[in-house]
Amino acid sequence: MAKQLGWGIITTGWIARKFATDLPQSRTGRLVAVAARQLGDAQRFAADFGGANAHGSYEALLADPAVEAVYIGTPHPWHAEWAIKAAAAGKHVLCEKPLTLRLADTERVIAAAKKNNVLLMEAFMYRFHPQTRKIAALVRDGAIGELRLIRASFNVLCPFNPESRMFKKSLGGGAILDLGCYPLSYARHMAGAVHGRDFAEPVKFHGSGRLHPQAGTDDFATAIAEFPGGIIGELSCGSTMLSDNGVQLHGTAGWIDVPNPFTPGLLGQAEKVILHRRSGATEEIAIPSPGVGLYAYEADAVAETLARGGREVPLATWADTLGNARLADAWLASVGLRYD
């Protein structure tokens, strides 16, 4: 059985607050420290979440002996730096997606985790929710026959602000890294589920997209991924248009509609997916998530892996993370975007 794990959180933004909110709902996690650039910000955050240790620098949190694992929720450009420093301090690392801005940096972070014998996981939290596990099982067990087509789309309509994290290049802005990584990861996961694996790599990949005329970062992008066995993935993401946030998995004997694939049970609510059969019949499958927020599942996955002596979480291995980074690089190159 996994033991209680002492977590430290680097930064105090929305995503950090969501992780801190969900952590007490996990079976294994407890918040012991938080760090911000300004001590007052960390103190206010700590007061909101039970009085954890508050640190006015990230270095101080990494020196805190009560911290066993670190959750990194900074903007993308600082992920690599603090993941490497956390590994060097002997802390296990759960880092928000994308793990880094580019494949070369992802390789450096993984090398640091190996060198220091710490767990490292890219935080695609949807992977661990019961909904995703149920869908992967349906695909693996042939509920829709042979999988042929994966349609996955994640779009958020954002008012344009050149200083916003979504648009500003120096903050890692752009739809592909912030949103497109989800359809990309989801398609790889389901293409792998066909063969009982956690992911599959496409044999062909072609991306396209638009650079925002003022920001210079991508605000809409699409991609086609061809996986072994003739499975096609149609992927899209965007930050300046209205579109769906859904996944549809089409097979030779039916298809599955997933209305909320990327943030299932975000607030502990139940979800549903619809299985359409070749006969025309439909089956609504309810997915409970009673009172457990989405981020609690990934915290437990980290603790359970450590309890087994592992350093790679099975549903989010380093090979999987490298595959995400490699394809993100290719997608960004196809739209002409390169980060400094």
In order along its 340 residues, the chain shows pLDDT tens digits of: 678 999 999 999 999 999 999 999 999 999 999 999 999 999 999 999 988 999 999 999 999 999 999 999 999 999 999 999 999 999 999 999 999 999 999 999 999 999 999 999 999 999 999 999 999 999 999 999 999 999 999 999 999 999 999 999 999 999 999 999 999 999 999 999 999 999 999 999 999 999 999 999 999 999 999 999 999 999 999 999 888 899 999 999 999 999 999 999 998 889 999 999 988 899 999 999 878 999 999 999 999 999 999 999 999 999 999 999 999 999 999 999 999 8
pTM comes to 0.96
Residue 333's CB: how many other CB atoms inside 10 A?
11
Domains in the chain (CATH in brackets) are 5-123 (3.40.50.720), 126-294+324-335 (3.30.360.10)
* Pairing between β-strand 69-72 and β-strand 92-96 as defined by DSSP bridges: parallel
CB 142: neighbour CB atoms within 10 A?
A: 14
Residues 291/159, Cβ–Cβ less than 8 Å: no
Q: Which of the residues are catalytic?
A: 97
The letter for the amino acid at 24 is P
Sheet holding 53-55, edge to edge: 53-55, 29-35, 5-10, 69-72, 92-96, 120-123
Q: What is the pLDDT of residue 45?
A: 97
